[in-house]
Each structure stands twice: as C-alpha cells, then as structure tokens.
Structure 1
Amino acid sequence: MDEVEIVVAHSERATLRVGDVFLKVDTDESRSDVEVAAMGMAPIPTPQILWRKSPVLALSALPGTALGRLGEPSAASAAAWASAGAAVRVLHDAPLPPWPGRSPDEFASELDRECDWLATQGVLPADLIARNRQIAEAALRPWAPAFIHGDLQLTHVFVEGDEITGVIDWSEAARGDALYDLATLTLGHEEHLADVVAGYGTEVDLDVIRGWWSLRSLLGVRWLIQHGFDPSSPGCEIDVLRSRM
C-alpha cells in the first residue's frame, strides 16, 4: 500500500499525496471552485481532476519534477525555464476568466499594512523595509488584465527534460498583471529571468518585475511566520529583500 506523504499542511489547507493521487483539503470552498474552473479554462497542461467531495479535491500527479525550489539551485535546463516562459505567455494570451483579481489599490493597501506590521514587530530593519517598499512602487501601476495563475511559484511548474508537463495549484487564478506571474516564477532565481523572458517572447519591464519581487516578499513574511514557515531560510523571501539593498 502506498504511504501517505504530507506535501504541505497548515491551518487553512493541506495537500497529501497517496501514490499518483494528490488530495487537497481546503477550508475555503471558494478556492477550490476557482481551482476547478481555472484548470478547465487554462490552455496549458494541468492535473486531471479525479473527483471532488468538499472539502477534498483529488487530482492526478503530473509527470516530471518541479522546475525548482525557493532557496535551492534549480537543476532544470535553461531550455526548460524558457519553456516555462512560453507556457505562461500562452496562458496570458487566453480569454480572461469571468471573476476579478486584486487591483493596484488593493495591493497598495495590503503593502501599507504589512510594512507597518514588519516595522512595529521589529521583524525587519526599517531601512530594509523602506528600500523594498520604494522598489515595490514600480509594480503598483495600472495594467491591462491577463489570465494569470496568481501563485506561479517554481514548485508549481513541472518539467520533463526541456518540456513543461503541467502547472498545479490554480486556486489564486484570476484577472491580473501578467508580470506578477513572471516575477513569482523567478522569485529568488533572478539568474533564470532572461531564460523565462526569452521563452515568453516579448519585451517586459524589468523594473516592474523587481517591484513585484519586493512587493510579494514584503507581503509574504508575516503569513509565512504565522503558518509555521521560515522566510529567513537561505534564498527565501528575506534574502530576496536583502538582495535589493
């Protein structure tokens, strides 16, 4: 009998693997609704939905391995990173999902709250917060909405050789800024940004990408701490913020 592997678990949701089946347990059914709908609309490979019985969603495993992990060197080839960029471009060119995403004003308000918390709690030095907040401003501009994945971490992109086999975890999919996806994919792996952009196939504003790196990292620190993760691990969010100094 296959063993049960805990892929990730915290107070909001958990993902278990049993053989070639992933079981996602989510306390918020609306996130599962988005995930199912987004996978049905996405023009790139996604896991097969095996069954759903709230609060559990059962998905098939994708072939291949994750593009990499935050804080670790990626073993994937430059061609694989370029293939990821090309797949993201196909997604961004697809028809928009019917539900909205977060606006620049919503991101700005969240950034204010998180920077205040980081400073008040003494989690990060004031100059580190101020510098990254300044860089983050580049991302807070009007954008033409695209169909975005919304949480395109490199662990969510699977490759086999130089080819993409699929993308998982679609619960944050929405209308949003295309450069947010590119920034999330390359967070902590700046050395692969040129490969991703080459595969994406169009010029991008690198200052906006850097802005999203800082913004996403500033927004993520409190959540990670409160859910039992360590944003100060080598190569992770706090290292990303320090690299901007």
Structure 2
Amino acid sequence: MEDVEVIVAHSQRATLRVGDVFLKVDTDRAHADVEMKAMAMAPVPTPSVLWCEPPVLAIAAVRGKALGVLGEPSTASQTAWAAAGAVIRELHDAPLPPWPGRTLDDVVAELDSECAWLLANAVLPAETIRRNREIAQAALRPWRPRFIHGDLQITHVFVDGDEVTGVIDWSEAAAGDAMYDLATLTLGHEERLNELLAGYGDGADRDVIRAWWSLRSLVASRWLIEHGFNPDAPGCEFDVLRSRMREP
C-alpha cells in the first residue's frame, strides 16, 4: 500500500501525493478548470491530467526535482536555470489564454490594501513597508499581456539534470505581466537571475523584476500568516523586504 504524503494543506486547498499521483483538493471548481485548460494550451512540459472528479484533480508526478525551495540555496546548475528561462520565454511568446488576468488597477488596489494591513498590525517596521512600497511602484505600469503561469514559485519548476521536465500548479495562469513570472521564480534567489535571463533572452526589465520582488512579498505576507505559513523564515518574504533596505 502506498503512503499518503501531505504536500501542502490549508483552509482553501490541499495537495496529497500517493505514489506517482498528486491529488489536488480544492472546493473552487474554477481553479481546476483553469489548471486543466492552461496545461492543455501551454507549449511547455506539464504534468498529465489523469482524471478530475470535483473537488479532486489527479495529475501524474513529473520526473526530476524542483529547481529549488524558498529559503535555501538552489543546487540546480547554471544550465538548468538557463533552460528554465528558455521554457518561460516559450510560454510568454505563446498565444494568450482566452480568460482575463489581473488588471493594473487590481494590482494597485491589492498592494494598497495589504500595505495598510501590514502597517496596522505592525508585523514589519513602517520604514521597511514604506521603502518597499516605493520600490514596487516600478511594476505599476501598463504591460503588454503575455501568457503567464501566474504562480511560478521555484518549487513549481522541475528539472532532471539540466533539462526542465515539468511546470506544475497552473491554477493562476492568465494573461499578465511577463516580469511577474520571472520575479516569482527568482524571489529569494536573486543571485540566479542572470542565469535565468541568459536562457530567457531579450526583453526582460531588471528594475521591474526587482519591483515585483517587493510587491509580491508585500501582498503575500498576510495570506501566509493567516494560513499558517511563516514569511519571516530565513530567506523568505520578510528577508526579501529587508534586503531591499540595504540597497542604495
């Protein structure tokens, strides 16, 4: 009998692994619908969908291991990071999905709301929040919509040696800002940005990527705290925000 491994679990959804099958339990049917449609459209390696019986989506495990984890140095090679960049570029150059993504107004409203919560609850020094809100401003500009993954955390890209074998967790995929994907993948791993962009090619804006590091960390912190995660763990969101304070 196969053991059941809990990958992630909180009040919104849970992911379990049983042998070579991942079971994603989510009461919001829209997430599974988007995930299946996005994986069918994306011109990059994705897991195979085995079956879907709401609220459960079953997908096959992908070969290899994650590019890294937040809070620890990535042991993946420079070539693997470049390969990840090339795969992301292929996604960003693909035809747009037919459903809408977040608008600039949505992002601004969320950022203002989350910064207000962080200040009211004093979870970080006010100057850290203020400075990162200032840095985040560079991301708040019109962007050309691209097919983005939308939650391209480092644990969502799998590699085997120097080859990208799969990109997982597509429930946030939509038309959006390409720089957001690049920033999400390198959050807490800023030292690997050059390697990623070597594979991605022309068109990346480093200032906007840095702005998204601040913006994502600001808007994610409350959700993490309220769902039992720790953004103050070494190398995670609070460290990202503090590191911006050391920059000129």
- Pairwise TM-score range, normalised by the shorter structure: over 0.9
Check the 8 A contact 1:197/1:203 in 2, yes or no: no
Partner of 1:218: 218
Partner of 1:116: 116
Partner of 2:9: 9
Counting only pairs closer than 5 Å after superposition, residues 64-75 of structure 1 correspond to structure 2 as 64-75=64-75
Tell me which amino acid in the other structure corresponds to 2:64: G
Matched, 1:43 2:38: no
Paired residues, what number?
Answer: 245
Partner of 1:185: 185
**Cα displacement string for residues 64-118 of structure 1 (whole angstroms, at most 9, x for unaligned residues):** 0000000001110010000000000000000000001001111000000000000
Deviating more after overlay: 196-205 vs 125-134: 196-205
Partner of 2:204: 204
* Structure 1 position 223, deviation (Å): 0.1
Unaligned runs of 5+ in 2: none
**Cα displacement string for residues 194-236 of structure 1 (whole angstroms, at most 9, x for unaligned residues):** 0011100114211100100000000010000000000000000
Check the 8 A contact 2:150/2:170 in 1, yes or no: yes
Unaligned runs of 5+ in 1: none
Runs of 4+ in 1 over 2 A off after TM superposition: none
Q: CA RMSD in A?
A: 0.5
**Cα displacement string for residues 142-188 of structure 1 (whole angstroms, at most 9, x for unaligned residues):** 00000000000010000000010010000000000000000000000
**TM-score (norm: length of structure 2):** 0.98
Tell me which amino acid in the other structure corresponds to 2:89: R
Identity %: 70
Partner of 2:162: 162
CA distance in 2, matches of 1:58, 1:19: 12
Tell me which amino acid in the other structure corresponds to 1:34: V
Check the 8 A contact 2:119/2:129 in 1, yes or no: yes
Counting only pairs closer than 5 Å after superposition, residues 16-165 of structure 1 correspond to structure 2 as 16-165=16-165
* Structure 1 position 27, deviation (Å): 1.4
Check the 8 A contact 2:93/2:146 in 1, yes or no: yes
CA distance in 1, matches of 2:84, 2:104: 26
Tell me which amino acid in the other structure corresponds to 1:167: V
CA distance in 1, matches of 2:88, 2:73: 21
Tell me which amino acid in the other structure corresponds to 2:85: G
**TM-score (norm: length of structure 1):** 0.99
